With several copies, the nearest count.
Chain A
Amino acid sequence: MTILVDEKTRVIVQGITGNEGSFHTKRMLEYGTKIVAGVTPGKGGTKIFDIPVYDTVDEAKREHPEADTSIIFVPARFATDAVYEAIDSGLKLVVVITEHIPIHDSIKFITYARSRGTTIIGPNCPGIISPGKSKIGIMPGNVFLQGNVGIASRSGTLTYEISNVLSKNGIGQSTVIGVGGDPVIGISFTEVMKLYENDPQTKALVLIGEIGGDAEERAAKMVEEKAFTKPVVAFVAGKTAPVGKRMGHAGAIITMGSGSYKDKVETLRSVGIKVAETPFEIPKLVKEVLK
């Protein structure tokens, strides 16, 4: 088993005819992801990579009732609307790749999604992959290996780097989720951890954090309170980042007296989580905790 997505997941791609949308649709198909339909307003009735395109998610869902998941490549100004459309069509999982969505839009659609029982991953995230089963995102598929380590990450490229080094060391992954780099995201570390806790395939967790916010501290608290009981190895990016400057991501900024590297690492270690100094130490630490 894996979490959230597997070989049974059926996907609608919103923004499938755009540059990014079509590029990644091709790569997801190559990976084996079951994409059943695409949506681009005004392009209904056409096909791309042999996948039917619809004007609305409503129509796509009516023609493909088995669809349960959407991935969104729509530009930021239209992405919010696309998310509501996905939620209203009853999809259970919506992966929002789009970055630069205004935060007041995000808080509203995340609140709305919760009231409708839809899980949102992102925005501004690389997506989710259950290696060997389904890839719903923009990550390079070849760096992942099927296995029993779950990964939750606030970063994109860094996740590929770490998955790559794990795979090369023979450590496979159950599911890898990039939760997203924005300050407000649909599914958080602790919510992902709840899922991993109940996934029998997942034997350990790698947490890839960043400066800013308190996601790592909340994860530590969950471990402390024994709500998460599997071994955890963590890495936090931004050890040398200055205070008050936004490091690329909107979420990666040390402010309001919180979110510093030092505090995060201390908190994680205080509850027994192993924290790697560099990404390349992670395989060794994972092997230790899995012994």
Chain B
Amino acid sequence: MKLFEFEAKEIIRNYGFSIPESILIKKGDDVEKKIKDSGIEPPLAVKSQVLVAGRGKAGGIKLVKTIEEAIETTKALFETPIKGIKPSYILIEKAIPHEKELYVGLVIDRNDRRPLVLASQYGGIDIEEIARTKPESIIRYPIDPFVGLRSYEARLIGKRIGVVGKALGSFERFLLTLYKAFIEYDAELAESNPLAYLDDRVLPLDLRITIDDNSLYRHKDFAKTEKERLGENTEYEIKGHELGLAFVELDGDVGILGNGAGLTMTTMDLVYGFGGKPANFLDMGGGADAEHVKRCVSFLLQYPKAKKIFINMFGGITRADEVAKGIIMALNETGIKKPVVIRLTGTNEEEGRKILEEAGIEVFNDPIEAAKVVVSR
């Protein structure tokens, strides 16, 4: 789960790292009153709180020199979609003049199985772009997860990207604070880009933290912004999320349902291979019962982009008879008629096939054949 910039900054402020004064405006607030009451003084940065990358280039950050301009810009930004998304929050910060911008981030290194600090003297552009254009500038520093990041290591990393003097102590404190957030919030990613490098300190101009979804049960503080966060998804992705489904919206017209992520992706690939276009990714998961299958199938029946539906199921933990029952229930309950092509094999295949065929639904054993059929319909 991606945190909003203002949430991420609140975390490091609570950890005692001092960052510029700011105010948060929520959609529906009296913008004028809130800005004036805050006593904040220009110059200011007015920042649209959206979770998409490249916000700056897309016009989501404006520098203003007067309070009047700040009010105007805030109102305008609420109405400005950034990559299709209108913000629910605007963050207004004291603008800090600076010349140099650094990059610093923490990720999990999949191969090393440990936290990895990434740092570069070139901030303000995507780390991928830095990696492409100035790979030698990127410091990669692995951290022992049991020992944690030590102060001396934070200093060492700062030195290696050219931070010197008083600012080095500030960089050290910032990186230790970021690491603390990374660990305590079970983050997959915690990065500041750009990190302003001033004479005597560093300042995170932007700050992004992504919490590992599997650990959300340990971090319930962000429930209040869940609705706004979901605003980043499409209408049907939000509905899917609310139903607890692993659903991703795509641009085609073939509704896809599989059991297991690999098989579901392969099903998409097969459809695509025969000239069809998947309308979505939907994985029913392992061990789905009839009730859960019904939920998935009903969802696709109601999902307007899916003009036809391809269900590809290889029984293992999941039983074919449960899937068959779920499909019948969904068709009956919704009453929606769409072409549905079903491939069923594996555990309890015979029972499943029987249930479907008795209801007059054709069942394939070979997924290639089924894919061809669904594309042709």
Surface stretch bound by B, among A169-177, A226-234, A245-253, A267-275 = A245-253
Whether a CB of chain B sits under 8 angstroms from the CB of A197 is no
Surface stretch bound by B, among A2-10, A29-37, A64-72, A153-161 = A153-161
Q: How close is A25's CB to chain B, nearest CB, in angstroms?
A: 13
A78 and B262 CA atoms in complex are apart in Å by 26
- Whether A241 contacts B281 by the Cβ 8 Å rule is yes
- Whether A81 contacts B128 by the Cβ 8 Å rule is no
- Within B156-212, the residues touching A (CB, 8 Å) are 156, 159, 165, 168-169, 183, 186, 188, 212
Surface stretch bound by A, among B28-36, B266-274, B327-335 = B266-274
Q: How close is B241's CB to chain A, nearest CB, in angstroms?
A: 12
Most B Cβ at <10 Å: residue of A103, A139, A242, A251: A103
Q: Closest B residue to A82 by CB, please name it.
A: B152
Q: What residues on B are CB-neighbors of A92 within 8 Å?
A: none
- Within B245-272, the residues touching A (CB, 8 Å) are 246, 248, 250, 258-266, 268-270, 272
Q: What residues on B are CB-neighbors of A257 within 8 Å?
A: 128, 131-132
- Whether A143 contacts B268 by the Cβ 8 Å rule is no
A250 and B210 CA atoms in complex are apart in Å by 13
Q: What residues on B are CB-neighbors of A154 within 8 Å?
A: 262
Q: Closest A residue to B107 by CB, please name it.
A: A256
- Whether A81 contacts B263 by the Cβ 8 Å rule is no
Whether a CB of chain B sits under 8 angstroms from the CB of A216 is no
- Whether A158 contacts B248 by the Cβ 8 Å rule is no
- Whether A143 contacts B346 by the Cβ 8 Å rule is yes
- Within A68-92, the residues touching B (CB, 8 Å) are 76-78, 81-82, 84-85, 88
- Within A95-154, the residues touching B (CB, 8 Å) are 100-108, 110-112, 126, 138-140, 143, 153-154
Whether a CB of chain B sits under 8 angstroms from the CB of A277 is yes
Most B Cβ at <10 Å: residue of A104, A153, A156, A245: A104
Q: How close is A55's CB to chain B, nearest CB, in angstroms?
A: 6
Q: What residues on B are CB-neighbors of A283 within 8 Å?
A: none
Q: What residues on B are CB-neighbors of A103 within 8 Å?
A: 108, 186, 188, 212, 214-215
- Whether A58 contacts B316 by the Cβ 8 Å rule is no
Q: Mark B273-316, 1 if CB is under 8 A from A, else 0.
A: 10000100101011100000000000000000000000000111
Q: Mark B123-142, 1 if CB is under 8 A from A, else 0.
A: 00001100110000000000
Q: What residues on B are CB-neighbors of A210 within 8 Å?
A: 261-262, 265
- Whether A104 contacts B212 by the Cβ 8 Å rule is yes
Q: What residues on A are CB-neighbors of B132 within 8 Å?
A: 257
Q: Closest A residue to B213 by CB, please name it.
A: A250
- Whether A102 contacts B212 by the Cβ 8 Å rule is yes
Whether a CB of chain B sits under 8 angstroms from the CB of A17 is no
Whether a CB of chain A sits under 8 angstroms from the CB of B57 is no
Whether a CB of chain B sits under 8 angstroms from the CB of A205 is no
Surface stretch bound by A, among B13-21, B59-67, B84-92, B111-119 = B111-119
- Whether A239 contacts B214 by the Cβ 8 Å rule is no
Q: How close is B125's CB to chain A, nearest CB, in angstroms?
A: 12
Q: What residues on A are CB-neighbors of B286 within 8 Å?
A: 138, 156-157
Whether a CB of chain A sits under 8 angstroms from the CB of B227 is no
Whether a CB of chain A sits under 8 angstroms from the CB of B225 is no
Q: Which of B128, B250, B266 contacts A237 (CB 8 A)?
A: B266
- Whether A160 contacts B368 by the Cβ 8 Å rule is no
Surface stretch bound by A, among B70-78, B94-102, B143-151, B353-361 = B143-151
Q: Closest A residue to B272 by CB, please name it.
A: A240
Whether a CB of chain A sits under 8 angstroms from the CB of B110 is yes
Q: What residues on A are CB-neighbors of B347 within 8 Å?
A: 140
- Whether A237 contacts B269 by the Cβ 8 Å rule is yes
A-B contact count (CB 8 A): 197
Q: Closest A residue to B248 by CB, please name it.
A: A245
- Whether B111 contacts A248 by the Cβ 8 Å rule is no
Q: How close is A98's CB to chain B, nearest CB, in angstroms?
A: 10
- Whether A155 contacts B188 by the Cβ 8 Å rule is no
Whether a CB of chain A sits under 8 angstroms from the CB of B218 is yes
- Whether A242 contacts B111 by the Cβ 8 Å rule is no
A257 and B53 CA atoms in complex are apart in Å by 13
- Whether B111 contacts A240 by the Cβ 8 Å rule is no
Q: What residues on A are CB-neighbors of B144 within 8 Å?
A: 111
Whether a CB of chain B sits under 8 angstroms from the CB of A53 is no
- Whether A111 contacts B260 by the Cβ 8 Å rule is no
Q: Closest A residue to B144 by CB, please name it.
A: A111
- Whether A102 contacts B218 by the Cβ 8 Å rule is yes
Q: Which of A102, A111, A248 contacts B215 (CB 8 A)?
A: A102
Q: Closest B residue to A184 by CB, please name it.
A: B113
Q: Which of A82, A107, A112, A239 contacts B147 (CB 8 A)?
A: A112
A257 and B151 CA atoms in complex are apart in Å by 31
Q: How close is B314's CB to chain A, nearest CB, in angstroms?
A: 5
- Whether B186 contacts A237 by the Cβ 8 Å rule is no
Whether a CB of chain B sits under 8 angstroms from the CB of A15 is no
Whether a CB of chain A sits under 8 angstroms from the CB of B155 is yes
- Whether A107 contacts B263 by the Cβ 8 Å rule is no
- Whether A156 contacts B260 by the Cβ 8 Å rule is yes
Nearest 5 interchain pairs by C-beta:
A155-B262, A248-B261, A157-B260, A158-B262, A257-B128
Known: A138-B286, A188-B111. 11 other contacts (CB 8 A): A55-B159, A102-B218, A103-B215, A160-B314, A161-B367, A211-B265, A237-B265, A240-B278, A247-B264, A251-B110, A278-B368
Interface residues of B (CB under 8 A from A): 107-108, 110-111, 113-115, 127-128, 131-132, 144-147, 150-153, 155-156, 159, 165, 168-169, 183, 186, 188, 212-215, 217-218, 246, 248, 250, 258-266, 268-270, 272-273, 278, 281, 283, 285-287, 314-317, 345-347, 367-368
